Chain A
Amino acid sequence: MPVKIEVKNLTKIFGKHPKSILDKVNQGWSKEKVLAETGHTVGIRNASFQVHEGEVFVIMGLSGSGKSTLIRCLNLLNKPTSGEIYVDGENILDYDKKQLKKFRQEKLAMVFQHFGLLSHRTVIGNVEYGLEVRKVPREERLSIARQAIANAGLAGWEDKMPNELSGGMQQRVGLARALANDPDILLMDEPFSALDPLIRRDMQYDLMELQSQLQKTIVFITHDINEAFKIGDRVAVMKDGVIEQIGTPEELLDAPESEYIENFVRDIDRSKVYQAKHVMFKTTVLVTIKQGLKTALNEMKTNGISSVFVVDSERRLQGIITIDDTVAAIKEGKTLRDILRDDFFTTDTEASLQDLIPKATDTKYPLAVIDENNKLLGLISRVSVLSALV
């Protein structure tokens, strides 16, 4: 994946004369010391990372760790004290006023924690705002805005005022407003934190759904590790303005680099992080549909298993046969096709273990992991689903 955003050695200090403090910060003065002796606040200290195109990059950390400061540097709502930010290879800190305006209008859009809707404008008035400042003709922008509202599931609410909507709906307006601009990059600063848990789950789900279609580059901030691991392709964990570790959810779970991160991941529900692809095993113990019952019986006997999956010559899943049925069929002179069963479960590679638990408890066969062409990719033993939970 090409790199979309590259941040190099980014430092942000708040206060009257941030540049004058830079040396001290680089020498490693702690945030407390800098504040006590100079009255300046260190927002971010020497952060470097890359975000790839089409990736959901999550920034996570406790309150005050500098997450907002960091994301706000990406559209220069905060002016970095030092460092470089490349978007599509261009250092946005070199932009003049006009270029910056164009960059904000076309490249990225932001979704805010408290929505940031214009309370004097209707829903559609809000959604068309970004297009309006880009001077898109009225008819055109209204039709784009209407479509964006419909995509956000708010058709029919166009002429309502924001205060007439629930929090979840207001954030959908925020999202529609951002997407109406068709930006490459979405910046989302704790977009769901102000919402009830149930609504929040819906919104997370909808965002993931949307992302699978749109493939935007998303920088997403949260302080909720479950949210981070659910939607993030990669997660950066911040502490006191420093990025402590960057990795996929599994990497952070399996190899936390500091106690801070260990504490974070301790109460994560592993079943939500692990996906089918992490626990499946690739098997060669299979029977093709053309093979005879004797071969199948032999396969099961040598491997000490009581059932085996049946595939065709292209490894597409046809069914499963049990050892009991096979023995009986051989006696009765039936064929393999006669005893094919379909009372097993299949799953795709992305399904979380959480979703597999009910299936695993409900069957006596392994779960079959297949791709969209019904091709068998691997198997998941019932034991591995249930044991990953502890």
Chain B
Amino acid sequence: MDSFPASIRFELGVYVDIFVKWLYTNFGDFFDAVSSVVLWLMVNIENILLWLPWWSVLIIVLLLGWRFVSPIAGAIFALMLVLVGSFGYWDHMLYTLAIVMASVVISLVIGIPIGILMAYSTHAQSVMRPILDFMQTMPSLVYLIPAILFFGLGKVPGVFATTIYAIPPVIRLTDMGIRQVSKEMVEAAVSFGSSSWDILTKVQLPQALPAIMAGINQTTMMAISMVVIASMIGVKGLGMEVLIGIQRIDVGRGFEAGLGIVIIAIIMDRISQGVANRFKIPS
């Protein structure tokens, strides 16, 4: 057999390593600062969730489901959570919820401005498009590597990896939503002497809101789908339980935890879709 010549060797990986090390030595302080902000956010969300009595969580979910989906859906959501609790996974579920919420919040804070920038500048769009495509086709596992490098193990790299994985939809849909706003509407606003800020906040963002809400929904779903993978770098929660189930070939345990994730996904999907529908603009 004629195999590929060993003499043709380009060690891209080495250069990537060098680059990452360079980043780390030069921007170490920056990563530390980011790390403490993310940690602060995570810890606070976790603490609030853990502080809530279990029945109040049920009531909140019941009411949200009632209001944004349907009364029956609200009741079903609450029962589903009772099921997760009965598996003994209540706290794990809250940990998972916390990392998802933190990642979504960070995704919005970073993603919406980037989306706006892309909508305003075709240049920015042509730079960002391939990056987003790249991010979405990259196996999610790969994000763990820079996450560990920059932030070590634990919650912060978990949030980091989850955010990178989950952020593209909200960016894309913000961009698309703003570009879709009717030209005449924007011109009407301009003709009344609106400032650029007026145009953005009084016309473009409100008009793009349904698209942005759809982006938030997708971003949330992607964040949830990342939790098992994030558990590999030490993120506590349902994902970790699935992972342990796999490692110990404990099908029962893995199944229970997996079902817990599915339940969270269903509830968050339905409720965020219900909220998004509220923002639909009649046309």
- Residues of chain A whose beta carbon lies under 8 Å from any beta carbon of chain B: 75, 77, 100-106, 109-110, 112-121, 129-130, 132-134, 161, 163-164, 181, 187
Contacts and interface: CB of A to CB of B under 8 A. Distances in A.
Interface string B62-93: 00000000000000000000000000000000
Contact of A112 (B184, B195, B203, B209): B184
B281 A119 contact: yes
A164 B193 CA distance: 27
A118 B185 contact: yes
Contacts of B182: 116
Given A104-B191, A104-B193, A119-B185, 18 more contacts: A77-B187, A77-B191, A105-B193, A112-B187, A116-B182, A116-B185, A116-B188, A118-B189, A118-B202, A119-B282, A120-B206, A120-B281, A121-B206, A129-B189, A129-B202, A161-B282, A163-B282, A181-B192
A118 B195 CA distance: 16
Contacts of A132: 202
A130 B185 contact: no
Contacts of A112: 184, 187-188
9 contacts: A104-B193, A109-B191, A110-B188, A112-B187, A113-B184, A116-B184, A118-B207, A119-B283, A134-B193
Contacts of B250: none
B178 to A, nearest CB: 13
Nearest to A116: B188
A269 B163 CA distance: 69
Contacts, number: 70
Given A117-B185, A119-B207, A119-B282, A133 B191 contact: no
A112 B189 CA distance: 11
A211 B191 CA distance: 21
Contact of A102 (B189, B193, B194): B193
A139 B40 CA distance: 42
Contacts of A117: 185, 188
Contacts of A119: 185, 207, 281-283
Contacts of B281: 119-120
Contact of A133 (B184, B193, B209): B193
B246 interface: no
A134 B193 CA distance: 8
A311 B192 CA distance: 54
B190 interface: yes
B198 A133 contact: yes
A133 B185 contact: no
B207 A120 contact: yes
Contacts of B202: 118, 129, 132-133
Contacts of B194: 133
A162 to B, nearest CB: 8
A134 B194 CA distance: 8
Nearest to A100: B193
A164 B283 CA distance: 9
Nearest to A129: B192
A110 B182 CA distance: 16
A130 B184 contact: no
Contacts of B191: 75, 77, 104, 109-110, 187
Contacts of A100: 193
Contacts of A103: 193
A164 B282 CA distance: 9
Nearest to A102: B193
A110 B188 CA distance: 7
Given A112-B187, A133-B198, A161-B282, A118 B192 contact: no
